Structure 1
Amino acid sequence: MASNRPRLEQLEMRGSFIPRHIGPDPRQIQAMLAELGLSQLEDLVEKVIPANILNHEPLKLTETISERAVIKYLRNMRERNKVLVSMIGMGYYDTIMPAVIKRNVLENPGWYTAYTPYQAEVSQGRLEALLNFQQMIIDLTGMELANASLLDEATAAAEAMTMSRRLAKSSSNTVLIDQDCHPQTIAVVKTRAASLGYRVLEINPYAGLEQYDFFGLILQYPGSQGEIRDLTATVASAHRKQALVTVAADLLSLVLLKPPAAFDADIAIGSAQRFGVPMGYGGPHAAFFATREAFVRAMPGRLIGVSKDSHGQAALRMALQTREQHIRRDKATSNICTSQVLLAVIAGFYAVYHGADGLRMIAGRVHRYARILAAGISHYGHEVLGHCYFDTLLVRMPNRARRVAARAEEAGINLRIIDADHIGISLDETTTRNDIRALWQVFSSPGHEMPDINALDKIVTECIPDALLRDDAILQHPVFSRYHSETEMMRYMRKLARRDIALDRAMIPLGSCTMKLNAATEMQAISFYEFNAMHPFVPLHQAQGYQQLFAELEDMLCDLTGFDAFSLQPNAGSQGEYTGLLVIRKFHQVNGQDQRDICLIPASAHGTNPASAALAGLKVVVVACDEQGNISVDDLRAKALQHQDTLAALMITYPSTHGVYEQAFRQICDIVHQHGGQVYMDGANFNALVGLCRPGRIGADVAHLNLHKTFCIPHGGGGPGVGPIGVGAHLAPFLPDHPLVEGVNPAKGQYGTVGTVSAAPWGSASILTISWAYIAMMGATGLRRATLAAIMNANYIARRLAPHYPILYTDANGWVAHECIIDCHAFKKSANVTVEDIAKRLIDYGFHAPTVSFPVADTLMIEPTESESKTEIDRFCEAMISIRREIQEIEEGLAAIDNNVLHHAPHTHRLLLEEWRLPYSKQKAFFPDSDQHDDKYWPPVGRIDNVHGDRHLMCGCPADWTESL
């Protein structure tokens, strides 16, 4: 008689992280495999994966590491980072994240596991938090409009440059940039300009602009070296040249200073990092972008707007170009399809918590301490340059700058070495009187007693003239004055979180988006002080823990992908696409093939692919797909031949955007290589390849990976993301470098690199600990098992839904990859039901909808991931089957074709307050699933009117906000 006791290996598996991450337990796996006619997970390899892409070489990854061991390892790693008091500045400042925000947002899965608010009805909480952020930026910059964040300050400047070129009436191709801009900003702008054929001139704009012909001017305010200048005359001079002016502003300084709009600036950009977001060795941080309302349709990024729902109540959603980017493809205004939502939310909450008075106190204290520090340094006989500054001092130290900086480092303080004669010192919210005293000791000289800091505090005055002080009120909306106690703040954040559907509530079955588990153990290290308190430009010997993290993560990714080198600098998938194409262009240029500028892109590709190609200076040629959704090999071969002298690259997503493993991948790569091109693989779906296939060994020359998808960095409600690129050895020398940190690209050769693509040397460094932990805990065995479990879950859903909905794309044997697409277009004719009706009805069942109408109109793309159990997957399938029965009721005349449960979905609690006039029961409306009674998700708003919101655009907090929601 067989024993019911679990085998030893099963017990060992239960003690590891693998079954914590993979949703279905062994019994559920067997039941799902039986439904698919299989006996074990490995059977999927033969059934689903093309044999010619399989990897047969063992991975070098270590065996699975336990959760406890991973935390211990990361603690040891963090101890190799030496965190000093940072006074480097240059756009990065230490700050204090209020504990109530850290506990209830940063460390709360209700916030960090949410997805981009494409289904606005189940995203009202984070949309309100983002609207607060936009209102904060509008108030502080004085501009009419602000978006919901961009990736970092430097890339925001690059976006401002391209927007200026589109809007400026000047015919010039030259952009001027203030030589006192942050160096990393100048570097990123130059990289972006080079690919677009623009010329960048670094100048002193305050010496006059008459001799220049230009379309855009970028100013830093205050300057990188601290000086605050009156921008009025410079902006007016630029406008006379028919150019647009961008002001890169420090957000905290704007609490005190005259805002960019008061100088008639056209665009204001900057970083919100110092509003409670740790430096994190460079990121992630939320950039801001504000402009004139007249420029709204040219503005990059996401914009949150106020509309109304079916009950006439105020409701929020993403507006205008947010939805246009994916449609406009290579004609898009930007390739950005994400933002830094989690970080923007934190920065917005920081302003809500402190309010106008609290921010004035913080900013005033920073400036006063800067004045005290300057007085003490002058006391020792050193020259403090500049007469007007906020938080940054420029000290002249002839031939002594490096020596003084070394003394400061010995005292536990990092300063900025500008050159052999000058030192920069930037103060921030965390600066203490002891820090000032320690720095005075560094600058001290024999015969001078240390100044009395208390005495100086009484006599110093601000050095900002009245003409440059702001005279208008800021943050006057009630949201910035109501939640200053921790009790109120805690309840406000909870109120917003409960309006959303995140992974802590239910499965989010978004195809192409990979909403897998973001395990708590993976997230722990982002709160470690030694990881999150480091400035990105500290000397490398202080960041050995980070250097170890980068080296080990790059080795892991090279092992999994088969590439020879990785760059971690791109801080979003779109940035990875752009960077990969720049590397290809550089390769062709170095090889004397600069004419190669054609990029072949399948018709099924995600909209960012052609947008990235255009941004990289490539011309897009579309390749047709066949009826099965695969790339047409015949059309590819014909177009590769047609453009063989100018072919630069093919962009291909694998598995395909349609959720199928194309059989011809190797053949496709061969065709491109035979005609002189390189193969760029969009790694958005790499989670369906991990442990099974190495793209670098089957024909891909470069690929980006979405670490926020495949490798468990949380989506954060629409950001952060990380998009590193892997390349073959022939492309490694061209990977990005950085002007301020050596060794970012160790393979850099005589021909140089593509330049700098993100503000920080290693992009969003602090969250790379998440992916490292995931890979370490899963090991080679766990990663392969996760991939197969994801494929199993997707095929199980396809098998269960096939009798009720057509499955649009499968391989020749009826199998899908890690996601499936169901076709809903026929319901419009049979029952007057759209795919949007189905998506909104799913809310009544407590689910976030799958991806709607991508990559094919009138479809739902469903991706369960490996993290969802059979129980949750069955609950989702039952909801979909129940909705199909509701459609059938309309088709059979049992429900009205224009007054039914789908058309009125989602059903909010407001209906309970009204006389019930609908032709179906409350039970059917509110509780279509009997299991919902104990934990019902009540949508906060009814179906949102997008057209109304776009026609009556409002992107700040409405005056009666507290009453309207």
Structure 2
Amino acid sequence: MNTHPVPGTFPSRHIGVTTPEDQRTMLDALGYDSVDALVDAAVPADIREHEPLNLPEGRSEQQILADLHALANKNVVKTQLIGQGFYGTFTPPIILRKVLENPAWYTAYTPYQAEISQGRLEALLNFQTMVADLTGLPIANASMLDESSATAEAVLLMRRANKAKASAKIVLDANIFPQTIAVVRGRAEALDFEVEVTDLSESLPEGEIAGIVLQQPGDNGAVVDQHEIIAAAKERGAMVTIIADLLALTLITPPGEQDADIAVGNTQRLGVPLFFGGPHAAYLAVREGLERNLPGRLVGVSKDQQGRPAYRLALQTREQHIRREKATSNICTAQALLAITASMYVVYHGPGGLKAIAERTHAHARDFADALRAAGFELASDSFFDTVRVRVPGQAAGFAEAAVEAGYNLRRIDADTLSASFDETTDAATVAGVAAVFDAAINEDARHEPGDFGFDPALVRTSEYLTHPIFNSVRSETQMLRYLRKLSDRDLALDRSMIPLGSCTMKLNSTAEMESISWPEFAKIHPYVPAEQSTGWRELIADLEGRLIEITGYAGISLQPNAGSQGEYAGLLAIRRYHLANGDAQRDICLIPASAHGTNAASAVLAGMRVVVVKNTDTGTIDLADLDAKIEQHRDALAAIMITYPSTYGVYDADVRDVCERVHAAGGQVYIDGANMNALVGLAKPGKFGGDVSHLNLHKTFAIPHGGGGPGVGPVAVAEHLVPFLPGDPTGEFHVAEGVPVVATLFGSAGVLPISYAYIAMMGGEGLTVATKIALLSANYIAARLTEHFPVLYTGETGLVAHECILDLRALTAASGVTAEDVAKRLIDFGFHAPTLAFPVAGTLMVEPTESEDLGEIDRFIEAMIVIRAEIQAIIDGEVELEQSVLRNAPHPAIVVTGDEWPYPYSREQAAFPVASLREQKYFSPVSRIEGAYGDRNLVCSCPPPEAFETAE
């Protein structure tokens, strides 16, 4: 295969190393005559695919945009009044262009390296503060995946924190969105605890209760006083979760003031498009005392070396790669980009603007309700916020169809009931038009005014919210523009330099791939529209599914999981349900190699399995003797093995087929984690060399950007025998036995699927395969160039790595005291995000250049690492004391470099400009090294006052 894409084609723009000269330079360093010879040596022959990918020829950027327009035009955009957790909203153009469509925000990685993430950390802290204020609870995390799974996480949190008996049940109010009930029931079934759904407006059921879940407003739109049921639950020793609409909470007494322990919900209606169901940032807030049980991420305030306030992810010991099967959740990515969008929407509007939107929405709903009553219709509730449910005995289908004809989508509850949910985009003409469907008319002389509430005065919110200056000082678009620019300038994202993180595949997210996601024909489709209104979406999704099936070699796929962790969970549930269907209920042991991703173990536990760890050898491969012993020990109970391939150590294990066959022989299934598919596409198919199920990370291999920690998509692909056990349709009758919904909508985070669709279509089968080969070439080039300075920890049988390599610093640390973290912080001074730190082996750095980086950028990284190695040598030779070294005091922000005092023995030039090229283009971190322990001891998780940022003493 020609590894030099034709100039001007999309592969030639996506792939960084394309010229014969650059490839020759790299191959000479490796001692190979061609890229194909290198690949043949690196990839085991017995897993190689010899036929090219059966995919259409690559499309140009112009062609793919035309294709996407054609698909988008097959969707039918109506005024969406379906509600059920998804609402029309208006994304301010400045936020659309300067956040959602801005590579400075969408190409950033999860903010594990806090010093170069201060902008997005501040934006996420704004999100946490916003949620805490509106819910009346002191601690909120930095987003969840979706409202339904956030509720499931809250249920698990109540069970952990309450320490009730294992037999204690969870009680869900019947007036909760049906998709949420379905997701919680699925989690409960997997973990074998009881969930009871009942009408809590009557009373609590009998029996021991660990927690209850209420919703405000309810599924029927009703706003009710929940104080009595909450008090009764507390009296019985139960905890309380309230699913709350944040826009409604500007008017309604918040959960914290009702004595709830937890609040969850969605922030979609705060400026985030409908996106056919996602991605949207959910939230989870808790009372004091529960913060260390929180799932997901929590941004906290700490300080840097000079004592200045600085942000970081707090309580990081809860992260899944550390806690593994003891993790409180399997969530790895969340919805950072969408959380940032929602937080900036609130900054843009401020408390007054947000309340005005809520009051206007509420007034429209009241006008509509008055018109229906006057026309003789019966309403489900006279107390509501935005949703009016109306009884139309036997006529629901007719009215719904008439509404569609008039341009409106209503929610059809059953044959006798409809509802209309109003929102920010509603105007008087919409209300009048929907009323006309019912032969009703708005009384123009009796329209409701803002501040005139249609619910119990006792439920009207009186407490303040969003009082921090950030929500009250950005008034003009000029200010907003500069605030967003200030924050993005504080960060280091892929638009500035290579992000060489191993296992995370921080590759190009092209503008052509990104362009269509905000088109109204895609972005304004409600997830529960009639199927004929989403024809374009469904064709795109079916096409993408077919391409992913071809790439992976499996028989079926579900795009529903909205993160890699959810894909793991769905795949393991498919295995568990397969065994149950075969009468093998005892099969619940999941074997997991010691090198596996931490989420693997956490997902296995959530799927109701027991984890047994299999050892790895000194060369990084699975220890076959230990594998045989564990298989024999657990033969009758063996459910599955989870393998990451290539391994987490960045190596193609030559015995992968053997491992799969041994597990199959014992009756187990093989789960191949698709996190490292960037080393397989076009070369090997997990569904062909032994896998029964794999999840994919579309935010890694298939070009959906990481967005500072989300969105992600984690499709799950399966062999023929597991197809019946793929995630079910949460919009149907919610029969759990037909498949457990993973998220609230059939296609999960559909809104970002056009990105992967465009990427695969523009690359074509040949382009995808060349990309994989160049990823291998680049990783091996880095390994070869750096191994004499930093030994490469693991290589395959031919001395090669896959698409990433692990640099071993442990001997250098022992000799000098310089840690891998010191090197990570020093790389910031060179303008690089650090490689993956201390995973999968403590004391190491894992590097993945991807196929998108050019030789010049790769050489710039190599140069930085060689200079750092010389700085370490100076410490080893006794020329420099460790604590006074440039490494231990990195990074060096401009405020330090240009300060009146310079307390260090090395020069300012060495600190800030260690290589000449930095004089032309230089990134300065906004803060010095951050004290993590201080931030955990002094947990602050909402916006600090402005005076905290005055010059530190």
1:688 matched to 2:679: yes
Distance across 2 between alignment mates of 1:421 and 1:460: 32
1:279 aligns with 2:279: no
- Tell me the residue number matched to 2:727: 736
Q: Quick one: distance in 1 between partners of 2:189 and 2:5?
A: 55
Judge conservation of contact 1:87–1:427 (CA < 8 Å) in 2: yes
Give the Å deviation of 1:824.
Answer: 0.7
Query: Would the aligned equivalents of 2:347 and 2:472 in 1 still touch at CA under 8 Å?
Result: yes
State the distance in 1 between where 2:587 and 2:790 align.
Answer: 45
Q: Is the 8 A contact 2:3 2:770 kept in 1?
A: no
> After superposition, what is the alpha-carbon deviation per residue over 1:642-676, rounded to whole angstroms, capped at 9, x for unaligned?
11101000000000000000000000000000000
Which residue of structure 1 lines up, in the alignment, with residue 614 of structure 2? 623
- 2:38 is aligned to 44
**Are 1:924 and 2:910 matched, yes or no?**
yes
Cα distance in 2, alignment partners of residues 262 and 944 from structure 1: 35
Counterpart CA distance in 2 for 1:714 and 1:44 is: 29
- Counterpart Cα distance in 2 of 1:59 and 1:851: 31
Cα distance in 1 for residues equivalent to 2:604 and 2:4: 50
Distance 1:418 1:391 in 2: 16
Matched residue, 2:79? 85
- Structure 1 residues 896 and 595 mapped into 2: Cα distance closer, same or farther (>3 Å)? same
Q: Do 2:317 and 2:323's aligned partners in 1 also have CA atoms closer than 8 Å?
A: no
Quickly say closer, same or farther: Cα 1:818–1:169, change in 2 above 3 A: closer
Q: CA deviation at 1:211?
A: 2.2
Shift of 1:316: 0.5
Deviation, 1:325, is 2.6
Specify the alignment match of 1:59 in structure 2: 53
The answer for the alignment partner of 2:938 in structure 1 is: 952
Whether 2:127 is the aligned partner of 1:142: answer no
CA deviations over 1:740-788 (Å, ceiling 9, x no partner): 159x9xxx9xx94331111111100010000000000000100000000
Query: Residue 10 of structure 1: CA displacement?
Result: 10
SS of the residue 1:879 aligns to: helix
| 1:779-824 superposed Cα distances (whole Å, 9 cap, x missing partner) | 0100000000000000000000011111100012210000000111
Aligned mate of 1:410, from 384, 405, 414: 405
**Residue type of the alignment partner of 1:823:** D
For 1:204, the aligned partner's letter is D
- In the alignment, which residue of structure 2 is the partner of 1:505? 496
| Counterpart AA for 1:565 | G
Q: Secondary structure at the match of 1:294?
A: coil
Matched AA of 2:98 = N
Who is 2:11 aligned against?
A: 18
One of 550, 556, 561 as aligned partner of 1:565: 556
Q: Structure 1's 870 and 11: CA in aligned 2 closer, same or farther, altered over 3 A?
A: closer
- Rounded to whole Å, the distance in 2 between the matches of 1:114 and 1:245 is 36
Partner of 1:3: none
Indicate if the aligned counterparts of 2:300 and 2:314 stay in contact, CA closer than 8 A. yes
Question: How far off is 1:451 after superposition?
Answer: 3.4
Partner residue, 2:654: 663
Tell me if the contact between 1:92 and 1:274 (Cα under 8 Å) persists in the aligned partners: yes
Q: In the aligned structure 2, how far is the partner of 1:964 from the partner of 1:286?
A: 32
2:908 maps to amino acid: K
- The one-letter code sitting in structure 2 at the alignment partner of 1:789 is I
Contact 1:301/1:322 (<8 A) preserved: no
SS at match of 1:898: helix
1:105-254 matched pairs, under 5 angstroms:
105-171=99-165, 172-209=167-204, 211-254=206-249
1:768 counterpart letter in structure 2 = L
Q: Structure 1 residue aligned with 2:97, among 92, 103, 107?
A: 103
SS in 1 for 2:466: coil
1:546-597 alpha-carbon deviations (Å, 9 max, x no partner): 1101110010000000000000010000000011000000000000111100
Maintained 8 Å contact 2:308/2:949: no
Deviation at residue 89 of structure 1 after TM alignment = 0.4
* Structure 2 unaligned blocks of 5 or more: none
Are 1:344 and 2:339 an aligned pair? yes
Q: What is the aligned residue count?
A: 947
> Aligned equivalents of 1:791 and 1:11: distance in 2?
15
Q: Which moved more, 1:106-115 or 1:929-938?
A: 929-938
Residue 819 (structure 1) aligns with: 804
Q: Any conservation in 1 of the 2:230–2:259 contact (CA below 8 Å)?
A: yes
**Cα gap change, 1:493 to 1:413, in 2 (>3 Å):** same
Distance 1:959 1:456 in 2: 41
CA distance in 2, matches of 1:864, 1:173: 50
Give the match's secondary structure for 1:44: helix
Q: 1:483 aligns with which of 474, 482, 496?
A: 474
Rounded to whole Å, the distance in 2 between the matches of 1:451 and 1:285 is 34
Corresponding residue of 1:28: 22
Equivalent pair of 1:216/1:245 in contact (CA under 8 Å): yes
- The amino acid of 1:672's aligned partner reads V
Shift of 1:24: 1.3
Q: Distance in 1 between matches of 2:215 and 2:205?
A: 20
Q: 1:640 and 2:625 equivalent?
A: no
CA 1:962 to 1:351, structure 2 compared with 1: closer, same or farther past 3 Å?
Answer: farther
**CA separation of 1:705 and 1:915: change in aligned 2, threshold 3 A:** same
- Secondary structure of the structure 1 residue equivalent to 2:341: helix
- Corresponding residue of 2:396: 401
Per-residue deviation at 1:164? 0.7
What secondary structure is seen at the aligned counterpart in 2 of 1:14? coil
Residue 441 of structure 1 aligns to a residue whose secondary structure is helix
Contact 2:501 2:846 in 1 (8 A): yes
One-letter amino acid of the counterpart of residue 926, structure 1: A
Structure 1 stretch 460-469 or stretch 476-485: which is displaced more? 460-469
**Cα RMSD (Å):** 1.6
Aligned counterpart, 2:901: 915
The one of 425, 428, 433 equivalent to 1:433 is: 428
Q: Distance in 1 between matches of 2:453 and 2:858?
A: 62
Deviation track 1:898-945 (CA, whole Å, cap 9, x = no partner) reads: 211111101112222231221011100111121111221111000000
Question: 2:640 is matched with which residue: 632, 649, 666?
Answer: 649
Structure 2 Cα separation of the partners of residues 642 and 68 of structure 1: 58
Of 292, 299, 309 in structure 2, the residue corresponding to residue 314 of structure 1 is: 309
> Residue 519 of structure 1 aligns to which amino acid in structure 2?
S
Quick check: 1:681–1:700 contact (8 Å CA) kept in 2? yes
Distance 1:459 1:715, change over 3 A: closer
Q: Does 1:610 align with 2:601?
A: yes
For 1:120, give the aligned amino acid: A
Tell me if structure 2 keeps the 8 A contact 1:400–1:420.
Answer: yes
Distance in 2 (CA, whole Å) between partners of 1:406 and 1:451 is 21
Supply the distance in 2 between the matched residues of 1:391 and 1:80 (Cα, whole angstroms).
30
Aligned residue in 2 for 1:256: 251
Task: Give the Å deviation of 1:33.
Answer: 1.5
Match of 1:4 in 2: none
Cα deviation for residue 455 of structure 1 reads 4.2
Aligned with 1:695: secondary structure? coil
Asked if 2 retains the 8 angstrom alpha-carbon contact of 1:734 and 1:752, the reply is no
Per-residue deviation, residues 589-619 of structure 1 (Å, max 9, x unmatched): 0001111000000001111011000111100
1:454 shift after superposition? 5.3
Q: Distance in 1 between the 2:788 and 2:694 partners?
A: 37
- Alignment partner of 2:302: what SS? strand
Query: Which string of whole-angstrom CA distances, capped at 9 and with x for unpartnered residues, describes residues 127-154 of structure 1?
Result: 0000000000000000010000010000
SS at match of 1:215: strand
C-alpha distance in 2 between matches for 1:391 and 1:328: 42
Letter in 2 for 1:100: I
In structure 2, C-alpha distance between the alignment counterparts of 1:188 and 1:113, rounded to whole Å: 31
More displaced 10-residue stretch of structure 1: 852-861 or 523-532:
523-532
Deviation at 1:868, TM superposition (A): 0.3
**8 Å Cα contact 1:302/1:322 also seen in 2:** no
Residues 490-540 of structure 1: CA deviation (Å, up to 9, x unaligned): 100000001111000000000011000000000011011111111100110
**Residues 377 and 29 of structure 1, relative CA distance in 2, 3 Å threshold:** same
1:829-840 → structure 2 map (5 Å cutoff): 829-840=814-825
Cα distance between partner residues in 2 of 1:597 and 1:917: 59
Q: How does 1:328-407 map to 2 (within 5 A)?
A: 328-407=323-402
Q: Return the letter of the residue paired with 1:20.
A: R
- 1:869 maps to 2:858: no
Q: TM-score, normalised by structure 1?
A: 0.97
Amino acid at match of 1:453: E
